[in-house]
Amino acid sequence: MSGDNTAAHSDNDIDFKAVRHRFMKLNHARLLRAHDALRERQRDVLDILPLLFHINHPMLPGFAAKDAPAGLANHDPSRRELEVAKRLARSFEYKRQRLRQFPILALYMIGSPGSIAYSEESDFDIWVCHDPALTPAQLALLQQKASAIESWAATLDLEVHFYLVNVDRFRSGEVLPLSEESSGSAQHNLLLEEFYRTAILIAGQAPLWWLVPPSREGDYDDYVRELQEKRFLHARDHINFGGLTHVPAEEFFGAALWHLYKGIDSPYKAALKLLLIESYADEYPHIDLLSLRFKKALYDGEENTSRLDPYLMMLEKVEEYLQRQGDKPRLELARRAFYFKVGERLSEEQRDGTWQRELLLSLVRNWGWRLADLTLLDSRNTWKVQRVAEERRTLFDALTTSYRFLSDFARRYAGLSLISQRDLTVLGRKLYAAFERKAGKVELLNRGINADLREAAVTIEELLDDQQQAGWLLYRGTLTSEEMRLATPLKRARNIIELVAWCYFNGIIDRHTVVALYPKITQLTSNELKAIVERMQALFPAGCLDTRSLEEYAGPARIVHSALFVNNELDSFTSLSLGQSISSGRPDALSYGGTGKNLVQSMDLVIVTSWREVLTYHFRRGKGLMDFFCEYFKWAPPSRGEAPPRIQVFGTSAQRGHIAAQRIDKLFHDLVSTWYGTKALQGARYVVAVGRGYYLLSFEGDALQYEAVTGENGLYAALGRPSSNFRPVVLDPHTLVDSVLPLIYSRNRNGWVQFFYRPLGEMAEVYVLDERGSLFHETLPFFDAKLLLSQFSRFFDAVLNRINFLMQEGQQTSAAEGVEFFLIGRDSENRYRLERQMPEFRNSYQQYLSLQVIVDHDENGTTVFTLYCGEREFSTLEYGSELFSTVVHHVLELRRGGKHYPIYITDIGMSRAVLGEQGVSKVQTIHFLNYKRRIENELNRVLLEEQ
């Protein structure tokens, strides 16, 4: 068959030689167009490519090893290949090889090369189809060869990507791993469909699919079997990638995810492909696939290369669908996307037009586009923020419309079992990071639109609401107050850092931009604003938002770049109050001067994540500082074993911003040292003074939490709460510098009860750290050290025995390893020091009374005390409100000489009713100490009244 009469009347009449010739003729025309679109030096890459995979020569690009897989099926190097090789390596001489097995079956170029859509910005995607029998070691060498060729091509400004394809695995449904250039399991049949209509055979075996007539696509495998049985074809001449008998419904949703992912950085290209997928889904299950439309045209004798252009066919299919839907906005967007993809600037006259230009001109005439329309599109690189924002919304709406349609389609027709959960997770996270809107997130306008949004001058105005700071406004150009009333702001933001971050990351301002600043109640100056911009440029370089590896999305988002800006929005009242608080020599910026003023008034955090999100957070004053730490540490929970990245802290305000910044930086370092690294303290609590109060920070699981307490008494109460396990306490170096607590806690250790006392004349200050680190503190009458130590020693002996008994009964381990006693004194430089003490057990036990207390609850839940003084029993049930006075009188009668030194409890027992929900396993010494203090306070109050 030949000419116009080559259409087959029946499958048995097909002239396979003629069909193959027709495909090869079109393939050659496409290859020539791809070749002609390159610059002269770049053409060498395409010309010599088959030879580089056919032989191994150490002087030619791509050499990996002598035994690297080489040898391309059905290939005899052309004169052009050999000329290029000789030019690259003068000593090169080609020696024909006789191979029985060819490791490389074929080289295919897929996508836009050779089509109207190819431009200088396009890349080359090339499939290297290899023998399925290659070993992993051989594949590694082949990949090394391919990577080396990619690098060589890059030196010629040609972007080439090679993909090693095992045809057997591909035909069975296995796909290339998910990557920036491969859709992974998201689509297989649709990828094959695109391959069949766009692929150009560079060299090697042709697709067997060419020889299967469109009418037999439904029984592709059976037809191929018939051809093989009748010996109409030889396996060495063709590659069987499989037929397009069916496209599973799952793939439409997978393809939607994939193209949405690509649409983050190439929205126009993705919009066009998504619309094609949507049109296919609309026809499901009887889909008019473009590849079959393409094949049918060839079988029917179509020879016009342009009419068979895969991108023109795609546009035609999308236009048919959108016109059928009556969707004019997306139809216009599809045409715009196609225009940008072609890359011809039709508003500019050219003397010698390309074939792409002539085709595009005929299209835009049919669309009714005017010169003004073309001029607007061709000036895309100069679009400013309003036009870019409008276009982004249009693109976003189109992409999400397609996504919703295909999501609904997937719910109706398919499960997602064919798509790996990992691929769904990775793609979903990438989409979420790019498109999800949330408070404080910087919306990146210019992804894939390629406009220069930089403004030579802008105006920033503080917005007031009932004389309260309510945000900031951005205007284009330098405006007066009157002009601002009539102008429409480009952007509104809650705070100045959010506004500057939006401007900077969208390329609207840089250090050269002239900024007219109109603050109202804050003290921000133009110089400070300029410093903020310069800091952002230094900390967040232009490439910090470059495309990151998809592997980043397989794990949780993490911080890549970060900065904290301190005190950027101080109002005049705050400025004055800070100035009044600096008379004292107390240098801590968190509790400054005699009034304990917190100099940290506002904080703005800017982070860039590994998912390419830019996020801003605003915090105010002490609570805000704690919220900042909780937010920042959330990005690096301790269970991951990796500390949060060091943050850059800057104070741009003249009102001691640098002092506040340095203090936050040091505090951040101390917090990291507390909870991360080889010296991390499990379960530690960190205490820091802020203003006139304190904050306790600690991790609950992987979440950093804090508690605010007022004054030292509030701190003692918080540190004295029972704990289910040992929790060390770390005191900030600037906190409680005049207190003994830092020294006490430096000696704290798990499993030991530690008693500290400091004589203060007739009183003594007592501190106890129990076996789990809970703090007990009281000030009590002081008679002498021997009595104080012996009574507490007897008490601890009795209580720890009780706790140990309860623990053993509950099959728990021992409560405490022992007790330590320390005297608090001063050294020669007036610093606190500790001196170990040893109670005198025997003499003390004989000299002083034993006073035991049993605590219980009656049936009404009322606390009942029973006191044993020697052999005498006193109970609430018997004496009621007179219990303590009766016991005091009895003690005084027993004392020799009627001495009125304090009464001490030497043992306490608590019933199970009192232990309650805390149970046996949670009881600790602090519970007994608290009851001891409560009862002793009552007894000594009565004792004092008797004196």
* 5 or 498, greater pLDDT: 498
The angle that helices 496-505 and 526-539 make with each other, rounded to 10 degrees, is: 50
Question: What pLDDT band is residue 894 in, cutting at 50, 70 and 90?
Answer: confident
Q: Which amino acid is at 622?
A: G
> Span 102-109, mean pLDDT?
96
**Per-residue model confidence (pLDDT) at position 5:** 40
Residue from 61, 256, 269, 258 nearest 153 by CA: 61
Structure tokens at 525: 């100056």
% of the chain at pLDDT higher than 70: 90
Q: Which of 174-188, 375-389, 639-653, 928-942 has the lowest mean pLDDT?
A: 174-188
**Per-residue model confidence (pLDDT) at position 713:** 92
Q: Which of 42-51, 359-368, 379-388, 662-671 has the lowest mean pLDDT?
A: 379-388
Residue from 627, 695, 704 nearest 672 by CA: 704
* 467 or 825, greater pLDDT: 825
Would you list the DSSP string of 546-587? SPPPGGGGGS---EEEEEEEESSS-BHHHHHHHHHT-SS---
> Span 910-919, mean pLDDT?
70
Question: What pLDDT band is residue 791 in, cutting at 50, 70 and 90?
Answer: confident
Residue from 265, 188, 190 nearest 550 by CA: 265
The strand ranges marked E within 542-684 are 559-566, 602-609, 614-620, 648-651
CA separation for the pair 493, 163 (Å, rounded): 46
Residue from 332, 664, 405, 614 nearest 497 by CA: 614
Full-model pTM: 0.79
Per the omega criterion (within 30 degrees of 0), is the bond before 285 cis? yes
Whether 867 and 876 have beta carbons less than 8 Å apart is answered as no
**Per-residue model confidence (pLDDT) at position 320:** 97
CA separation for the pair 471, 461 (Å, rounded): 9
Residues 6+ apart with CB under 8 A from 245: 217, 218, 219, 220, 221
CA distances to 35, 842, 852 from 845, in Å: 104, 5, 14
Residues 6+ apart with CB under 8 A from 849: 869, 870, 891, 894, 895, 906
> Span 519-533, mean pLDDT?
88
CA separation for the pair 55, 92 (Å, rounded): 11
Q: Which residues pair with 854 in a beta bridge?
A: 866, 909
Q: What is the pLDDT of residues 7-35, one digit of tens each?
A: 444 555 678 889 999 999 999 999 999 99
Q: Which residues pair with 517 in a beta bridge?
A: 460
Whether 403 shows a pLDDT value over 50: the answer reads yes
Residue with tokens 């101080």: 570
Q: What is the pLDDT of residues 232-252, one digit of tens each?
A: 777 678 999 999 988 888 788
Q: Which of 392-406, 466-480, 652-666, 928-942 has the lowest mean pLDDT?
A: 652-666
Q: What is the pLDDT of residues 531-588, one digit of tens each?
A: 899 999 998 987 677 766 777 888 889 999 999 999 887 654 455 455 555 544 567 8
**Per-residue model confidence (pLDDT) at position 844:** 47
Q: Which of 103-117, 241-255, 317-331, 780-794 has the lowest mean pLDDT?
A: 241-255
> Span 735-741, mean pLDDT?
93
Q: Which of 5-14, 595-604, 829-838 has the lowest mean pLDDT?
A: 5-14
Q: What is the pLDDT of residues 153-204, one digit of tens each?
A: 999 999 999 999 999 988 887 765 555 555 555 568 888 999 999 999 999 9
CA distances to 418, 597, 838 from 173, in Å: 10, 68, 79
CA distances to 643, 753, 778, 927 from 775, in Å: 29, 10, 10, 11
Counting every residue written for the chain, the total comes to 947
Structure tokens at 54: 């056919």
Q: Average pLDDT over the chain, rounded to whole? A: 87
**Per-residue model confidence (pLDDT) at position 704:** 96
